[in-house]
Amino acid sequence: MAKMDQATLKAVVAGEVRRAIGYMGGTISTDRQKALDYYLGRPFGNEVEGRSSVVSTDVCDVIESILPSLLKIFTSGDTVVRFEPQGPEDEKVAQQATDYCNWIFNRDNDGFTILYDWMKDSLMQKLGVAKLWWEEREEESEEVYEGLTDDEFAQLLADEEVEPIEHTEYPATALGYEPEPGMPANDTQANDNAAPPPAMPAPDQLPPMGHNGGPAPMLHDVKVKRTKVIGRARLAAIPPEEFLISPGTRDPDSAILMAHRRRTTRSALIEEGYDKKLVDAIPAYDPNVETGEAAARWADQELADSTGDNLDPAAEIVWRTECYIKVDYDGDGKTELRKITLGGAGDGGEILDNEVIDARPFYFLCPVRTPHVLIGRSVADLVMDLQLIKSTVQRGLLDNMYLINSPQTAIVDGQVNLDDLLTRRPGGVVRTKQLDAIKQLVTPSMMGPALQSLEYLDAVRETRTGVTRYNQGLEADSLNKTASGVNQIMNAAQQRIELIARIFAETGVKELFRGMLRLVAKHQQKERVIRLRQEWVPMDPREWNTSMDVTTNVGLGTGNKDQMLGHLMNILGLQEKTVQAGNPGGMVDPKKVYNTFEKIVENSGLKSVDPFFNDPDKVQKQQQQSGQPAPPPPPSPEQIQSQAAQMKAANDQRAAERQAQVDEAKAAAAMRQLERDEQLATVEFQVKMTKLMREMAAPANADSAQVTA
């Protein structure tokens, strides 16, 4: 089969675009236009003059109530998704890829705004579409260098980014004459018989000389233009009406055509690098092929119905359709995925580029999935009928109140002065020919049934969407006022919102980050240094494994934040007890405790754990880089048991020594007491002997006295 010619290719692409426009511009476009009108609270078109035309805002209320919960789930931390390593060799790469892709999402692109628009489009208009592409742009700057040497000047010009604009060259020294080294400096040092030195030439006849007598080195003043080619991964949420897809598409891989169709100017196409002749041949913008969805989006802005006519041809508006189509262009019988940009609408357009690609740049969110269909239902689809019914009930209720406050009046024709009756004023007089000529028609109040109907419709809306007055903080007079009762109701309602969040995470956000990893690995040609966690970190994705698994890091656990914090605190307590018990089996290490701290900080509503705790792996790496000895590894269970036995033996020995010392002290005290008792007994014995001797000596003295007398 021969290669497809240009005319055939253009016809094939234009035909697929027409089919996609018919598919997306039919019922889907009508439903999305209707959802947009309902969200903005525009009239239904069935209003009656002189009657209430109030419009309920249920679609807007539900979407704006769901969005904060969804965005909080995805943006509560610095890491939206995490890449998982395929093997031990991918551990470091997985962490780098996680940090870099999340940095690109939040820093190179406005991640929050993109998520907001992407999710809001899906909640309102069935399908949110995000586009990811690689953008290269040139940044020019002028730089001035002065006093460059020849080598420095040559090195500067060797840079491919540099182009000289102005250049001045001049010698490094002033004009003058210096003798060669070793030559006599003057005639007093020379031999008297030596020949006189040659006459010195005039200064303007001397060449520039260096200090060694050779030619003086040259210096350069130069002004250059530096042109940097900067490549970045770009991300945007595109308006739903600008996206086209083939009818009957079940999933993104099965689509024959996906396209981004938007208005642009001829000048913008030329700036993108397209050939000017091709751009000039593109037909002007035709407003007749514009969808009603785009007109509905810009209805409040009073967008002019431009025909493409412009006095400046470069500013003329044209259609640009960026098609990603499966087509057998090379004639081998197999379709390949190609990117073909079509300028203009219909068969009269021009093909601006045609290249083979490996993946489409579109990623999708659909909140209410329909099996085997890419475009399911939106949250607005669940609520639009309720908004119409509630608006009808509210209109009837207001009309009823108007009639009650200003009732109709029945009169007998010809018996009442109509001018007096129609001129209403306090204390006014109405002239009648008979007293019963005027009668007010009593309108029964419909307040009770109408309010009951509105309450019922609100209950239906809560069941369909999961948005209740409990999780909005609006129900103050509930019969179920216990904390557990309200918590059960909130958890049951939040399951619907959590389901939407899980669908977004698994089908859209995860695929987006996987595509971002492939994109930077393919297109980034040199290392890039970024500031990450207060450090400058080099990122070079050229050697990364792009097939790593991706896991979403979103808060989709059971229960609310307070419940999760309670669980985490229990886990932290168990870890503490495990460490106190000797950490049997090495179940807990510093990294595990740090992970618990990280989750506690995250569920506390703070973005990063870094201001509060240091990552043990990071601390160890810094110590290794600074030459400090790494902390010893945690002991093994055997080492812990051995240390415990040694500590027990040492404690027992110290206890025995203390007991021996106590016993010795007791024995010494007893000996001292025995000695004191012996001394006391000796003293007492001596006292008794002395007394006895005195008593025995007393009779002898008496006898001797008698003899003397």
Neighbours of 249 (CB within 10 A): 18
pLDDT interval class at 444 (50, 70, 90): confident
- In percent, the amount of the chain with pLDDT more than 70 equals 81
Of 10-24, 44-58, 154-168, 178-192, the least confident: 178-192
Q: What is the dihedral angle through the alpha carbons of 160, 164, 167, 172, rounded to the nearest 10 degrees? A: -20
> Looking at residues 223-251, what average pLDDT do you find?
91
pLDDT at 553: 57
| 168 located within any domain | no
- The C-alpha angle with vertex 460 and arms to 456 and 463, in degrees rounded to 5, equals 140
What does the alpha-carbon distance between residue 363 and residue 245 come to, in Å, rounded to a whole number? Answer: 12
Angle between helical axes of 58-75 and 111-125 (0-180°, round to 10): 140
Higher pLDDT, residue 329 or 700: 329
> Looking at residues 644-652, what average pLDDT do you find?
80
| Strand, helix or coil for residue 136 | strand
pLDDT interval class at 389 (50, 70, 90): very high
Structural domains in the chain (count): 1
pLDDT at 210: 46
Neighbours of 259 (CB within 10 A): 27
pLDDT interval class at 481 (50, 70, 90): very low
pLDDT at 183: 39
> Looking at residues 25-30, what average pLDDT do you find?
86
pLDDT digits (tens, 9 = 90+) for 286-320: 766 666 777 777 766 654 444 445 567 888 888 89
pLDDT at 57: 93
Neighbours of 511 (CB within 10 A): 17
| 69 located within any domain | no
| Most confident segment among 112-116, 152-156, 478-482, 498-502 | 112-116
| 430 located within any domain | yes
Beta strands in 85-209 (DSSP E): 128-148, 162-171
| Contacts with 592 (C-beta within 8 Å, 6 or more apart), sequence order | 575
Sign of the CA dihedral 128, 132, 136, 142? positive
pLDDT interval class at 234 (50, 70, 90): very high
pLDDT interval class at 637 (50, 70, 90): low
Domain that holds residue 444: 381-468
pLDDT interval class at 620 (50, 70, 90): confident
CB 101 within 8 A of CB 81: yes
Examine the pLDDT at 363 and tell me if it is beyond 90.
yes
Examine the pLDDT at 554 and tell me if it is beyond 60.
no
| 176 located within any domain | no
pLDDT at 305: 47
Higher pLDDT, residue 479 or 362: 362
Higher pLDDT, residue 677 or 467: 677
Return the closest-CA partner of residue 128 out of 592, 586, 508: 508
Mean confidence (pLDDT) of the chain: 80
What does the alpha-carbon distance between residue 8 and residue 5 come to, in Å, rounded to a whole number? Answer: 5
Examine the pLDDT at 675 and tell me if it is beyond 70.
yes
| 339 located within any domain | no
| 400 located within any domain | yes
| 239 located within any domain | no
Higher pLDDT, residue 464 or 358: 358
CB 292 within 8 A of CB 274: no
pLDDT at 583: 79
pLDDT at 140: 85
Higher pLDDT, residue 602 or 590: 590
Neighbours of 235 (CB within 10 A): 24
pLDDT at 38: 93
pLDDT at 243: 93
Alpha helices in 356-482 (DSSP H): 379-405, 418-422, 447-465
C-alpha R_g of the chain: 47
Taking every pair of Cα atoms in the chain, the longest distance, rounded to a whole number of angstroms, is 182
Q: With a threshold of 0.75, does the pTM exceed it?
A: no
Q: Which residue type sits at 511?
A: E
Return the closest-CA partner of residue 68 out of 461, 382, 376, 467: 467
pLDDT at 557: 40
pLDDT interval class at 415 (50, 70, 90): confident
pLDDT digits (tens, 9 = 90+) for 68-87: 888 888 887 778 888 888 77
pLDDT at 198: 45
DSSP code for 186: S
What does the alpha-carbon distance between residue 687 and residue 709 come to, in Å, rounded to a whole number? Answer: 33
Return the closest-CA partner of residue 257 out of 484, 481, 13: 13
CB 73 within 8 A of CB 511: no
Q: Which residue type sits at 280?
A: D
Examine the pLDDT at 653 and tell me if it is beyond 90.
no
pLDDT at 434: 84
What does the alpha-carbon distance between residue 618 and residue 614 come to, in Å, rounded to a whole number? Answer: 7
CB 318 within 8 A of CB 262: no
pLDDT at 385: 93
Of 22-31, 195-204, 216-225, 669-678, the least confident: 195-204
Higher pLDDT, residue 484 or 50: 50
pLDDT at 177: 36
pLDDT at 184: 40
- In percent, the amount of the chain with pLDDT more than 90 equals 24
| 418 located within any domain | yes
Task: Take residue 269 and report the two structure tokens written for it.
Answer: 């196409």
**Within the chain, how many helices (H) and strands (E) appear?**
18, 17
Examine the pLDDT at 283 and tell me if it is beyond 70.
yes
User: If residue 237 lies in a helix (H) or strand (E), which one and from where to where?
Assistant: strand 218-238
Higher pLDDT, residue 503 or 692: 503
pLDDT at 631: 58
Task: Take residue 31 and report the two structure tokens written for it.
Answer: 């439903």
Higher pLDDT, residue 161 or 326: 326
